[in-house]
Amino acid sequence: MTGEMESGSDRFENSAGCPACGSVRIAPWRKGTIDAASLRPESVRITDSAYGRTWDLARCRDCGHVFADPCPAPEFIGSLYGGVEDPLYDEETEGREKNFLQVLARLETILTDKGRLFDVGAATGILMNLARGRGWDVDGADPSAWAAATAGAKYGLAVREGLFETLALDPESVDAVTMVDFIEHTARPFDAVQKAAEILKPGGVLCLVTPSLRSVAARLAGRKWWHYRPAHLAYFTRRSLDALLGRAGFTVVRRRSYSWTFSAHYLASRKKVSRFLVRNARLAGLLKQIPVKLVLGDSFEIYARKERPR
Ligand SMILES: [Zn+2]
């Protein structure tokens, strides 16, 4: 550990093994480029555009999982997310709705009886609102006070404010759990999927979307891959994700690669040279109406069933 990390040692934890499969055969993979002392809630915003920055990363020799080691402690990460405000995320509601509708439609081909759905990392409630409109009874959680308040004001949704892993929730009380771009943000991914298993009824389904470390996009982009950023504490491979889910008692029932849809406005706003376009309100209004399917397919989209007792 460096001296800087020692001075704030309660904010970081050294791994005892692979967070995905539990193996102790881990080795350093890449030296980090993040200055922890300068981190602010803005650093972990969903729409943060500081690509290419990572924590010190280690790799599991057994499942290929890559993860922050030392890892920011859950309390430290929780305190950062508690202060996150991300109006750009909310401006992109239409584009995100298109993505979430596809996820819900696929979930409904596996779970034909719509019951209770819990969205983890619910942000401003976009997915919860859509699910409610399709007949689901919805619940969800997010650590950001701003996000929970926005969900309440916009949709009248009660998003629970806090870290999912430590919330008091009734066991075996939901039929579906959704984790879209959530698991890579958690310090302890196994705790999160175990919590999902705990609150799901036997036979219930977990839908999980997370970046794929070995995708073509990741390989092409190299160190500039857009998923390398301070908010991401882990990068999954097919093997590490299967190991994580298997350990928590899940069986994968469907998998595909995931592509995001963004508006031209959002893409333009992510490039410094195009910022002047975004400041022009009339032009920005036009751009927002043009959906752009970004066919990167650089994420896993996985549906896994909680095994029924034999
Ligand atoms: Zn592993």
In this predicted model, what pLDDT tens digit does every residue of 181-219 receive, in sequence order?
Answer: 999 999 899 999 999 999 999 999 999 999 988 877 677
Question: What pLDDT, on the 0 to 100 scale, is given for residue 12?
Answer: 86
What CA–CA distance (Å, rounded) separates 221 from 92? 24
Question: What pLDDT, on the 0 to 100 scale, is given for residue 263?
Answer: 58
Question: What pLDDT, on the 0 to 100 scale, is given for residue 6?
Answer: 40
Q: Is the pLDDT of residue 285 over 60?
A: yes
Q: For 119-150, write each residue's pLDDT tens digit.
A: 999 999 999 999 999 999 999 999 999 999 99
Q: Is the pLDDT of residue 4 over 50?
A: no
Reduce the DSSP state of residue 24 to 3 states and report it.
coil
Segment 94-114 shows an average pLDDT of 92
Q: How far is the CA of 21 from the centre of ligand 1 (A)?
A: 4
Q: How far is the CA of 190 from the centre of ligand 1 (A)?
A: 12
Order the strands of the 174-180 sheet from edge to edge: 160-161, 137-142, 116-120, 174-180, 200-211, 291-306, 250-263
Q: How far is the CA of 20 from the centre of ligand 1 (A)?
A: 5
What CA–CA distance (Å, rounded) separates 140 from 82? 16
pLDDT band of residue 259 (cuts 50, 70, 90) is low
Q: How far is the CA of 58 from the centre of ligand 1 (A)?
A: 10
Question: What pLDDT, on the 0 to 100 scale, is given for residue 305?
Answer: 98
Segment 103-112 shows an average pLDDT of 96
Segment 111-116 shows an average pLDDT of 94
Q: For 141-186, write each residue's pLDDT tens digit.
A: 999 999 999 999 999 999 999 999 999 999 999 999 999 999 999 9
Q: How far is the CA of 245 from the centre of ligand 1 (A)?
A: 12
Segment 272-301 shows an average pLDDT of 61
Question: What pLDDT, on the 0 to 100 scale, is given for residue 48?
Answer: 61
Q: How far is the CA of 150 from the centre of ligand 1 (A)?
A: 37
- HSE, CB side, 13 Å, CA atoms: give it for residue 43: 22
What CA–CA distance (Å, rounded) separates 176 from 208? 11
C-alpha closest to that of 49 among 278, 290, 244: 278
Q: How far is the CA of 67 from the centre of ligand 1 (A)?
A: 10
pLDDT band of residue 2 (cuts 50, 70, 90) is very low
Q: Is the pLDDT of residue 224 over 90?
A: no
User: Is residue 306 within 8 Å of residue 205, measured between CB atoms?
Assistant: yes
Q: 84 to each of 15, 30, 278, how far by Cα in Å?
A: 26, 27, 22
Print burial letters for 20-41: b (CB count within 10 Å at least 16), e (below 16).
bbeeeebeebeeeebebeebeb
